[in-house]
Amino acid sequence: MLQRRLLTTICRMTEEAKRLAGCAAVDNHVKNNQVLGIGSGSTIVHAVNRLAERVKNENLQVFCVPTSFQARQLILQNGLTLTDLERHPELDVAIDGADEVDSELNLIKGGGGCLAQEKIVAGCAKSFIVIADYRKDSKNFGDQWKKGIPIEVFPMAYVPVIKTIQQRFGGVAELRMAGPVVTDNGNFLLDWKFDKVHDWAAVNLAIKMIPGVVDTGLFISMAERVYFGLEDGTVSFRDKPVH
């Protein structure tokens, strides 16, 4: 009973941390007449709820580009205006979550499987803002996130891509299974559990050059700012380092 109460408290605290981060991003970066990229995952739900509140209370006009089927449903359920990259190829702000954030503000994304579309939308935005709870803040990749780096591949290529990654970079790459997992684009997902710290910018480019790879869950030097909801009910943020 005590353990169950503790787990319930932790879950509540984590959800509140996600909500705080989502609200901070929407309050600080969304303005009237903007085109917004709407990310995927559990944290983005709180950001979209806050966005819908502001649209209603302040009579804002915003246009929302989704990164997944889930994001599209969130936009429609909240009565927000849905658009796409054909009509709005340039976005003002994209807001999305992350599975892990390192000290350089590089991200691992794609735990939910939407990495390719998330990266496209983030790349079209003048400003890419990330929201996360305190569990996602790491010095190095792998400190917190243990499920590996997601990699989207064409179905026919998954075996040679696995072999190539393991031979060149070590670790273990596995097909994500749920029969297997199929992305919104009809592709497969691999999870690469690396066994050492790499030059992530170089590894990202090298993996993307392997025939059959659609994209990786490494978002290198893309995030402008990350908001972290903390355990004590406050929000901290980090900006991209200037080198």
pLDDT tens across 66-83, in order?
A: 999 999 999 999 999 999
CA distances from 42 to 39, 62, 81, 113 (A): 10, 22, 21, 13
* Residue 171 predicted with pLDDT over 80: yes
- Per the model's pLDDT, the better-predicted residue between 112 and 207 turns out to be 207
Average pLDDT, the chain: 96
Where does residue 69 fall: left (phi above 0), alpha (psi -120 to 50 degrees), or beta otherwise? Answer: alpha
User: pLDDT band at residue 6, thresholds of 50, 70 and 90?
Assistant: confident
Q: 120: helix, coil or strand?
A: helix
Residue spans of the domains in the chain: they are: 2-136+221-231, 149-215
- CATH number for the domain running over 2-136+221-231: 3.40.50.1360
Q: Which CATH number fits domain 149-215: 3.30.70.100, 1.10.287.610, 3.40.50.880, 3.30.70.260?
A: 3.30.70.260
User: pLDDT band at residue 224, thresholds of 50, 70 and 90?
Assistant: very high
CA distances from 101 to 68, 75, 113, 237 (A): 21, 26, 17, 12
| CA 104/CA 48 separation, integer angstroms | 27
List all residues 6 or more positions away from 2 whose beta carbon is below 8 Å from its beta carbon: none
User: pLDDT band at residue 5, thresholds of 50, 70 and 90?
Assistant: confident
- Residues with a catalytic annotation lie at 118
Mean pLDDT (whole number) for 26-46? 97
Residue ranges of alpha helices (H) inside 30-68 are 42-58
Proportion of the chain above pLDDT 90, given as a percent:
91
List all residues 6 or more positions away from 16 whose beta carbon is below 8 Å from its beta carbon: 229, 233
* Residue 201 predicted with pLDDT over 90: yes
Q: What are phi and psi of 65, to 5 degrees?
A: -105, 120
User: pLDDT band at residue 241, thresholds of 50, 70 and 90?
Assistant: confident
Q: What pLDDT, on the 0 to 100 scale, is given for residue 3?
A: 78
Read off the amino acid at residue 167. Q
Bridge pairing between strands 62-66 and 34-38 = parallel
* Residue 174 predicted with pLDDT over 90: yes
* Residue 189 predicted with pLDDT over 90: yes
- How many residues would you count in the chain? 243
Q: Which two tokens stand for residue 161?
A: 């891509």
- Which secondary structure element, helix H or strand E, spans residue 237, and what is its range? strand 235-239
User: pLDDT band at residue 90, thresholds of 50, 70 and 90?
Assistant: very high
DSSP at 135: G
- Per the model's pLDDT, the better-predicted residue between 113 and 162 turns out to be 162
Contact 35, 92 (CB under 8 A): yes
C-alpha torsion sign, points 194, 199, 203, 206: negative
- Per the model's pLDDT, the better-predicted residue between 5 and 68 turns out to be 68
What is the end-to-end Cα distance of the chain in Å, rounded?
51
Bridge pairing between strands 149-153 and 188-193 = antiparallel
User: pLDDT band at residue 139, thresholds of 50, 70 and 90?
Assistant: very high
| CA 85/CA 126 separation, integer angstroms | 14
Bridge pairing between strands 188-193 and 172-175 = antiparallel
